[in-house]
Structure 1
Amino acid sequence: MLNVKKYWRLFCKQSNGKWQLIIGLMFMCGTINAAEVKISSLNELADYASKSGNVITMSPGVYPLEGYLPVDSMRARHDNKQFQFITFSGSNNIFKLDGVELEVDNALRKALSPPVHTSEFLMTGSNNTLKGLLIRYNGEGTSSGGAALQVAGNGNVLKNITLHVSGSYPYGYGDLFGKGKPKETVIKHSKHSGLLVTGSDTKLDGCKLYMRSFGHGYFVQQNAKNIYFEDCYVEGAVRSTDDILAETSGPAFDVKFRTWTPNREGEFVVTPGYMKSLCEDGFRVYGQIKNIHFKNCTAKNTRAGFELRTNGGIRLENCTTIGTERGYWLGNGAIVKNCRGDANYGPLMFVEGNNLDVELIVTPSESDRLVHALITVQGENNKVVLKSEDGKKKTNGLPILIGYTPPEHGESMSPFGESETRGLKLNNETGMPIKIGAKARDCQIETDGSVLENKGINIEMTLN
């Protein structure tokens, strides 16, 4: 077999690193002669997860995790600080796991009792390809937070990975009673998120998350950079606040439906008429994540579809939000092209940064829930184009709010604030009305909708 490491060092030295990416791609495509291994158990998978330079093919089938890690082994693992179920610490591997379903009883998570924010399946190695694996959580039991799967190494590819995530507390209320921090909590939470990326140069292709727990779907942290999502999907579940208020027992009833954010009347109480996602955000970034690209990705019934409040390097193409509490929440320099979404359960977009270039298509929507705006815009030198998917103008639609902030913590029940907005170029082709606040100035507005109010300064208005 070819000595891959020796070849890699020699080639990169001779080419001054110029061809390193090409060689990496060759390796991931299997053109370099790696050892090919066939396995048929989780013991073997865990073993090869710690090795490097192999192509591992696993026999299709359903594999209960408890067959590899019995529940009575969790105490010893906890005492030995072995808080992951399986760690992919090796590098330069290809894992062909098509048809492999890994079943995880949430009782194992509870018995392991790891520290808060500990992920359960972890990839720390680099330049690996993980393909075709399905992980399904079931049963009762919660843990102290963390993600089902975390990619921490660099240059890894996840292709056609599917996660069915459950096991959080309380489930059924979304973030009405807090997000987990003590100062932001009415009811103490135990989250369970989906897929966390902390390693740079990660690519996710054709992955699917089905969130039936309170936690994020896909999220990126720790200043990871050069992250690429293509054909990825995340789906949560929704529940009306009316249904929540109808409870006669349980955690919400026990706190008298007290919320952690005020409603539009200034009261901290669940308000009827709204729809809540039962998970957190579909796609989320924390910190200053650089160069993250989304193509053909969809978020359905999540809290935010794409919450990308970072400085620069954000690009979305052909992405879609369906039934979210807010579709797109965007920061500085974001580029959004040919994306779409509805405003069934909340605003389609919040713009709160500078120098954004946004093109959004408003899809037809029918909802009996309370929604107070189509979009809000603040910041400087932003360009926004809004189109109607069906070409029909909406005469009684939701207002476009210029010079306004998102509601507190993004909660639809809370009121909007006002903020400085300068140099906006808006082209509204939806027929939706526009409301311009007193802190907006030096804006160019072209619209085919009515102007409900204009308190702005030096607003150049073209009515079509």
Structure 2
Amino acid sequence: MKLTIKYFLITTFFFLWNAMIAKDIKISSLGELANYASKSGNVISMAPGTYHFKDYISEEAMKAKHDNKQFYFMKFNGNNNIFKLEGVEIIVDTKLREALDPPIHTNEFVLSGGNNTLEGLQIKYIGNGTSSGGAAFEVSGEGNVLRNLTLYVKGSSPYGYGDLFGKGRDYVIRHEKHSGLLVTGSNTKLYGCKLYMRSFGHGFFIQNNAENIYFEDCYVEGEVRETDEILAETSGPAYDVNFKTWTKNREEKYVVTPGYMKSLVEDGFRTYGNIKNIHFKNCTAKNTRAGFELRTNGGVRLENCTTIGTERAYWIGDDAVVKNCKGDANYGPLMFVEGSNVEVDLTVIPAESDRLVHALVTIQGSNNKILLKSENGKKREKNLPILVGYTHPEHGEAMSPYSEGETSNLNLRNETGMPIEIGAKVSHSTIETNGEIIENRSGSTEVKKIEN
């Protein structure tokens, strides 16, 4: 805590000092933006308008960048700058990504300097070009602030199946991904940033043990598709592999199963590794695979966040705090709890569909305190069980079966009216519920009825 306060005071001092001595620069081209992106101590205001990236760098120039091992589109490596880019739209033809042909996981617009503020930029990808992974935008420097950045992301292959056929090293069909916004620099703050994902890849994601990351009023949106529609294909990549999946379904078969809804993108908000002190406030994920998959054990806090139409809404690890958040179970479970010492206050939005969903929530771990409520007290029409003492399905895949997991000292209050199933590995727990207990195989769990 002392180090965090010290860092805040130091960065605030440098920001105020920089504001007093900074030069006001007016620009009106991508070439000028790239030039000042590598300088420090300036306030750069760019004329509003639409700028085509291919007019700045051609496909041939991208091939030259590849030969020089400059595997990025534009790098903001200066420090202590303010970029005022309201009304600026950069159009990027995805063929430029193919021409650059970077190594896998190479990112395109990179903010690598420190203590910069970037306001209002919009980047829109067009076309159907692909390359081997990477994110549209990366914040790798420390102490940076993004305000009202908007990304429209395209450029993965194949697009239209989500992760049905695998990801990473495990796949039936190999993906070339294109993700949204990666944060690897500590003390990054994002306000009002929006991602519209039309590409298989993550929306916002955090890696490299970055710490002290703050999101407020951020939004990410993907697309969804019924598995029945995928199975109706008579040609294409899925048809060519006889619809073989990388995870087994509930019938122990590795095949696409009708009746489900798949997101065509990866997770809306995602952490990798031991990410410490990450805070989300008023953020929303819509039609993504997971809304908030935050399985780090470094301290996560979500406040007033929302999920809509996700395959699974919230997935949390140790010490997470979920306060006044909500989501639906329209296409998949509302929450997977796999950690310990979590505090959850979560509301179920009573949206329903004809898609198959097998659980409202799964809970494992120890010393967890969980409150589940219904929005405006309105109960869902279709019952979805709350599975206490159960793990998430393999890879989180809705078509896959659940297993049982050790659960102890749970304090669960269920005000949703949904039924509860208590597994055999649950011990020394207390459950208050206004829904029925459909099964109780725990020998040491106290169940109390909430009177309506």
What range is the shorter-chain TM-score in?
over 0.9
Aligned residue for 2:210?
A: 224
Aligned residue for 2:111?
A: 123
What do the CA deviations read for 1:309-367 (whole angstroms, capped 9, x no partner)? 01132000000000000000000000000000000000000000000000000011120
- Equivalent of residue 106 in structure 1, options 70, 94, 97: 94
Corresponding residue SS for 2:65: helix
- Equivalent of residue 20 in structure 1, options 10, 33, 45: 10
What's the CA shift for 1:217?
A: 0.1
Contact 2:11–2:115 (CA<8 Å) still a contact in 1?
A: no
What do the CA deviations read for 1:75-96 (whole angstroms, capped 9, x no partner)? 2110100111100000000000
State the distance in 2 between where 1:139 and 1:287 align.
Answer: 33
Q: Which amino acid aligns with 1:424?
A: L
Aligned residue for 1:253?
A: 239
Corresponding residue SS for 1:359: strand
Aligned residue for 1:44?
A: 32
Q: Which amino acid aligns with 1:26?
A: L
What's the CA shift for 1:106?
A: 0.3
What do the CA deviations read for 1:412-437 (whole angstroms, capped 9, x no partner)? 00000101000100000010000000
State the distance in 1 between where 2:80 and 2:156 align.
Answer: 34
- Equivalent of residue 332 in structure 1, options 318, 326, 340: 318
What's the CA shift for 1:17?
A: 7.4
1:353 aligns with 2:339: yes
* Comparing 290-299 and 74-83, the one that deviates more: 74-83
- Equivalent of residue 146 in structure 1, options 123, 126, 134: 134
Contact 2:351–2:380 (CA<8 Å) still a contact in 1?
A: no
Aligned residue for 1:7?
A: none
Corresponding residue SS for 2:428: strand
What do the CA deviations read for 1:104-154 (whole angstroms, capped 9, x no partner)? 000000011000000001011000001100000001210100000000000
Aligned residue for 1:66?
A: 54
What's the CA shift for 1:394?
A: 4.2
- Equivalent of residue 398 in structure 2, options 370, 393, 412: 412
State the distance in 1 between where 2:294 and 2:266 align.
Answer: 14
Contact 1:364–1:390 (CA<8 Å) still a contact in 2?
A: no
Corresponding residue SS for 1:44: helix
Q: Which amino acid aligns with 2:69?
A: K
What does 1:152-301 correspond to in 2, within 5 Å? 152-181=140-169, 184-301=170-287
Q: Which amino acid aligns with 2:370?
A: V
Long gaps (5+) in structure 2 = 1-5
Q: Which amino acid aligns with 1:332?
A: D
1:19/1:328 Cα in 2 relative to 1: closer, same or farther (>3 Å)? Answer: closer
1:433 aligns with 2:433: no
State the distance in 1 between where 2:443 and 2:294 align.
Answer: 30
Q: Which amino acid aligns with 1:375?
A: V
1:131/1:17 Cα in 2 relative to 1: closer, same or farther (>3 Å)? Answer: closer
Corresponding residue SS for 1:457: coil
* Comparing 200-209 and 71-80, the one that deviates more: 71-80
Contact 1:378–1:419 (CA<8 Å) still a contact in 2?
A: yes
State the distance in 2 between where 1:27 and 1:275 align.
Answer: 52
Q: Which amino acid aligns with 1:368?
A: D
Corresponding residue SS for 1:390: helix
Q: What is the percent sequence identity of the aligned residues?
A: 68
Contact 1:27–1:92 (CA<8 Å) still a contact in 2?
A: no
State the distance in 2 between where 1:186 and 1:19 align.
Answer: 51
What's the CA shift for 1:33?
A: 2.4
What do the CA deviations read for 1:196-255 (whole angstroms, capped 9, x no partner)? 000000000000000000000000000000000000000000000000000000000000
1:55 aligns with 2:43: yes
State the distance in 1 between where 2:378 and 2:435 align.
Answer: 12
State the distance in 2 between where 1:264 and 1:74 align.
Answer: 47
Long gaps (5+) in structure 1 = 1-15
Contact 1:395–1:431 (CA<8 Å) still a contact in 2?
A: no
RMSD of equivalent CA atoms: 1.3
Q: Which amino acid aligns with 2:16?
A: M
What's the CA shift for 1:462?
A: 0.2
State the distance in 1 between where 2:373 and 2:325 align.
Answer: 10
1:18/1:455 Cα in 2 relative to 1: closer, same or farther (>3 Å)? Answer: closer
State the distance in 2 between where 1:45 and 1:341 align.
Answer: 40
1:403/1:17 Cα in 2 relative to 1: closer, same or farther (>3 Å)? Answer: closer
TM-score calculated relative to the size of structure 2 = 0.97
State the distance in 1 between where 2:187 and 2:7 align.
Answer: 16
